[in-house]
Amino acid sequence: MPLRNHDLLCQPILDYLRDGEQPAWEIEEELAKQFKLTEAGRAQRYPKSGMPIWESDIAFGLKKLVEARRISRIDSRRAPNGGKRGVYRLV
């Protein structure tokens, strides 16, 4: 099961963004490696919405950091799997 405590994601997100701005999908990838999340874990989805749980966990961690004004969303870019996703950097 993917990580459900969004607070545990905040420091690794901040650490990763020290190297410069990053799109959400690259943050998801890097943190999945750090937390040793399997492909099966990353593939888990919420039954009703179909939203990937890991993607949602990272989004909530990013949201917390934006609200705390530790990071900012600077842009939106087309994600490799379609749609537009945020690009973030340290404040």
Per-residue pLDDT reduced to its tens digit, 51-62: 999 999 999 999
Q: Which residues contact 91 (CB under 8 A, 6 or more apart)?
A: 69, 70, 71, 72
Q: What is the pTM of this model?
A: 0.89
Radius of gyration of the chain (CA): 12
Which residues have CB under 8 Å from 51's CB, separation 6+? Answer: 45
pLDDT at 59: 93
Give the tens place of pLDDT for each residue, 20-33: 999 999 999 999 99
pLDDT at 3 exceeding the cut of 90? no
- Measured CA angle at 40 (ends 39, 41), to 5 deg: 90
**Average of pLDDT values for 28-51?**
94
Answer for the pair 35, 57: CB distance below 8 angstroms, yes or no.
no
pLDDT of residue 7: 85
pLDDT score at 1: 45
| Closest to 80 (Cα-Cα) out of 37, 42, 23, 9 | 23
* Domain 7-90 annotated CATH 1.10.10.10: yes
Q: Where are the domains of the chain?
A: 7-90
Q: Where are the beta strands (DSSP E) in 45-83?
A: 71-78
Comparison of pLDDT for 70 and 2, the residue scoring more: 70
The pLDDT assigned to 19 comes to 94
